[in-house]
Amino acid sequence: MLTPTTSARDRRNNLLTTQEARHIAHTQTEQLRNEIILAKVLESARLFHVNQKEEAYKKASEVLSLTEPSGAPLHRLSRILMNGIQRRCYSQTEFLGNLYNDETNPIAMIKAYDVLAKHTPFIRFAYNAVNLAILAKACNTNRLHIIDIGIGLGNQWSALFALLQGTSFYPKKIHITGIDIPGTESTLNDVRDKLVNEAKDVGIEFSFTPIVAKAEQMAFKEIDRSSGEFLVINAALALHHTPSGDAIKNDQFSRAALLLQLRQLEPQLLTMVEPDSNHNLTSFEDRCYEAFQHYMHIFNAFEYLFPRHLKERAILENDFFGREIINIVTADGPDRVERHERKEVWAKQMQEAGFAHIDNIFERTGRTLRNIVPTSPPFQIFQSNQALCLGYNNSPLLAASCWRSAA
């Protein structure tokens, strides 16, 4: 006969076994549900691609009925893409994934970008990895000239000046040629004023030349140069916007032609940071799946870093990264401006243009970088043959690399 103690232990063990079984069943159900959602997402994208828009719209509606707006990352990303496809089903020209559209409050966008810059490692890694490389190569030069393709708000150079605070090992004269797309004239003037003041605080003789143009349409040889300057060309999260594949209307304005132009300037250093994903020349099915996997890593990172109902997280997901994946999946030809490549592909393109990879530079700066951008699992900073990478759960998201003119 069982004692009361033994009977209580058995009941507890049975309860635990029941709870474990329920947990396993729930997990398996969720996994199956997620597989169904992903299959429907990819099918909706395929239907849209082959111009079966009514069926694509219906399939997107099925996904929306299975997902929660503030749910798990898979739900959130799926809803963004399906809403984008539904809007594109009845519009050929609207909502192609233009990041800064009129529907988004610019102040809210700035606040969301501030969250991205300060509370995630993405921007800090991108800027500081190459800034430290620039200082490692140019710290003893008298005059540093940086041609920055896609300067944006100039925050990378604010980060550079912050690195120089309290040190004496830096170029005494820095000139930046800041390039950005048409429509940014006022912003470039604001960037100039900001950087002039920041450089003054550090004690650097600083000058700035704004250029409003698409990089692939520029004549880089016409940029003013000074004798004896150390020339750096910087492209942080910019080159993937240049025409490649079916986006090329004129070979003269292609990505390959741009890289050849940059090589002809004979820079002592070219620094670049790019998303490490393949969204350019693959088949539609591969492009769609690859894009979904890449952005799932980013959305999973947000799940790790931010509460689900944070307003800035929703803006980052919908109005930054969400628009990118909509552009990748629903646009073709010149309309598809998000054309990311794997680091191996970039390496091949750079070598074909006449650049040589600079080895070991990140080994010299790695300890300082990890102090500025401390990472712990699920984030990692690691070196590959082609680049220094920022990863999430060992999947590379960003790749920084340094190049010089080949002999």
Tens digits of residue pLDDT in 142-177: 999 999 999 989 999 999 999 998 777 678 899 999
Judge whether residue 94 has pLDDT over 60: no
Q: What is the band of 285 on the pLDDT scale with cuts at 50, 70, 90?
A: confident
% of the chain surpassing 70 pLDDT: 88
Which one-letter DSSP state was computed for residue 38? H
Judge whether residue 8 has pLDDT over 70: no
Distance set, CA 255 to CA 241, 248, 362 (Å):
9, 9, 26
CA distance 249 to 262: 20
Domain spans, the chain: 13-89, 106-280+337-405
Residue 381 in contact with residue 388, Cβ under 8 Å? yes
Judge whether residue 3 has pLDDT over 60: no
Averaged pLDDT for residues 372-383: 94
Q: Could you give the 3-state DSSP secondary structure of residue 165?
A: coil
Torsions phi, psi of 337, nearest 5?
-100, -15
Q: What is the pLDDT of residue 297?
A: 96
Structure tokens that stand for 185 in this block: 């004239």
Torsions phi, psi of 2, nearest 5?
-70, 140
Q: What is the pLDDT of residue 331?
A: 87
Domain 106-280+337-405 has CATH 3.40.50.150: yes
Residue with tokens 């930046």: 176
Torsions phi, psi of 221, nearest 5?
-65, -15
Q: What angle do CA 388, 390, 393 make, to 5 degrees?
A: 130
CA distance 331 to 87: 13
Among candidates 61, 76, 68, which has minimal Cα distance to 317? 76
Among candidates 374, 398, 399, which has minimal Cα distance to 386? 399
CA distance 70 to 186: 37
Q: What is the pLDDT of residue 113?
A: 80
Among candidates 215, 156, 209, which has minimal Cα distance to 181? 215
| Whole-structure pTM value | 0.89
CA distance 19 to 229: 70
Q: What is the pLDDT of residue 1?
A: 46
Residue with tokens 């969250």: 115
